[in-house]
Amino acid sequence: MSHPQRVTVLGATGSIGTSTLDVIARHPERYQVFALTAHTSRETLLSQCIEHRPAIAVLAQEEDAQWLRSALRQARVATEVAVGEQALVDVAQDSSVDIVMAAIVGAAGLLPALAAASAGKRVLLANKEALVMSGALFMQAVETAQATLLPIDSEHNAIYQCLPSEHRGGLDRHGISQLLLTASGGPFRTWPREALATVTPEQACAHPNWSMGRKISVDSATLMNKGLELIEACWLFDAAPEQIQVVVHPQSVIHSMAAYHDGSVLAQLGNPDMRTPIAYGLAWPERIDAGVAALDLFQVARLDFEAPDEARFPCLRLAREAMQQGGTAPAILNAANEVAVEAFLAKRLGFNAISDVVAAVLNDQAAEPAHHLDIVLNADQHARRAAQQWVKHYTG
Ligand code: NAD
Ligand code: MG
């Protein structure tokens, strides 16, 4: 390798962002940080700048940026500090960048991730909401700019590893009959629906196997995360929703599988640690150390599987139906879910009402063909306003 690969980490201070910097720090000869971004976590961003010396750091607000500039001056770090959404897009598409880790949570990550794809970067996609909202446009941008899109979501990374290299143009062409998307089932896998009515954000965020940001933790508890991942898999692997089976696997050791027409099922296994898919994406097609402990199968001892229960966890069904409906339906689903999850985390909405809000918004708002980004962003805004109203309704 001639020069170290230059990396922008969008959402550097989050769970995926910090794991990414952990892997990068293990390979200083391979990777050099170009830009780090955060929403409001200025202290964390400061210590990351001191350690990784990026050219640019980005925050959402001018006040935080001023604080960071003066702290960096005191620490004698020459990082330039930029502010706002356009700055996120700029560091994602900068001509000196090779790799962009898209790890902002939610719809806020769409424009910078799309900018990275349109600029032909190697895009490590953790921000599944971007693909859920604008899958067709995103995949088109990747194709047009000849970007390299590598899924970081552990399930999609696993499937990617189980597919033939250079796969494109549908599953059938490669002799694949089905993708098996594994799900831990979340912290409430065995709970009756009535008991779910009173669960708290703290309970929902205590995931049995993975340590993650709060929004995705709640999504894992409602199974909306698996619904979003089903949509994500349809776009990434050119699959129909019917070709994807969700398999609840409480140990989270098999990260997903591909079933072939000859009866073979290929699986990728590993400890539940996001540094594995992150290192895979950074180094692909090579393999590097991720700092992850070797899998001890004797300690794992057993692997269990069960069917998901869509009566207790309706979000999975809602997501599948939105994908079947197509157009802006997945963007509407995603926007309503973001609003409902935020209200749940703020203790304004009950856990079971999250799916009620999403269902109500999808029912009210007609999906349109998603030919342009503006149409997607309008549908997103419209669904957010409707979801706020439904949150009020369910809060009573
Ligand atoms: P997190 O909440 O821990 O981190 C989110 C990051 O995005 C932070 O750096 C935050 O500052 C930034 N951010 C938040 N809102 C922003 C905004 N409006 N504008 C700009 N930046 C903003 O989230 P996470 O768990 O790291 O997840 C990040 C993404 O990766 C999500 O889309 C999630 O679904 C996906 N993902 C996460 C995991 C995991 O294990 N954590 C696994 C698979 C996929
Ligand atoms: Mg996942």
pTM summary value: 0.98
Q: What is the pLDDT of residue 167?
A: 79
Residues with CB under 5 A from ligand 2 (ion): 153-155
Ligand number nearest CA of 229 is 2
Burial class (CB in 10 A: 0-12, 13-18, 19+), 270: buried
CA of 107 to the centre of ligand 2 (A): 17
Q: What is the pLDDT of residue 165?
A: 85
**Calpha distance 42→382 (Å, rounded):** 31
Which residue intervals of the chain are DSSP H helices?
A: 15-25, 42-52, 62-74, 85-93, 110-118, 128-145, 154-162, 193-196, 201-205, 214-222, 224-237, 275-283, 297-300, 315-325, 329-345, 351-364, 373-395
Ligand number nearest CA of 219 is 1
CA of 70 to the centre of ligand 2 (A): 38
Strand partners, 32: 6
Whether the CA torsion 128, 129, 130, 131 is positive or negative: it is: positive
Given ligand 1 and candidates 61, 216, 218, 229, which is best to mutate, with the most ligand atoms within 8 Å of its CB?
216
Q: Which helix (H) or strand (E) holds 123?
A: strand 122-125
pLDDT digits (tens, 9 = 90+) for 324-365: 999 999 999 999 999 999 999 999 999 999 999 999 999 999
pLDDT for residue 1 is more than 60: no
Given ligand 1 and candidates 18, 91, 100, 105, which is best to mutate, with the most ligand atoms within 8 Å of its CB?
105
Are 248 and 174 spatial neighbours (Cβ–Cβ below 8 Å)? no
pLDDT for residue 83 is more than 90: yes
**Calpha distance 47→34 (Å, rounded):** 15
CA of 309 to the centre of ligand 1 (A): 27
Q: What is the mean pLDDT of the chain?
A: 97
Neighbours of 148 (CB within 10 A): 16
CA of 229 to the centre of ligand 2 (A): 7
Ligand number nearest CA of 184 is 2
pLDDT digits (tens, 9 = 90+) for 356-392: 999 999 999 999 999 999 999 999 999 999 999 999 9
Q: Find the mean pLDDT for residues 272-293.
A: 98
Which amino acid belongs to residue 48? Q
pLDDT for residue 149 is more than 90: yes
pLDDT tier for residue 169 given thresholds of 50, 70 and 90 = confident
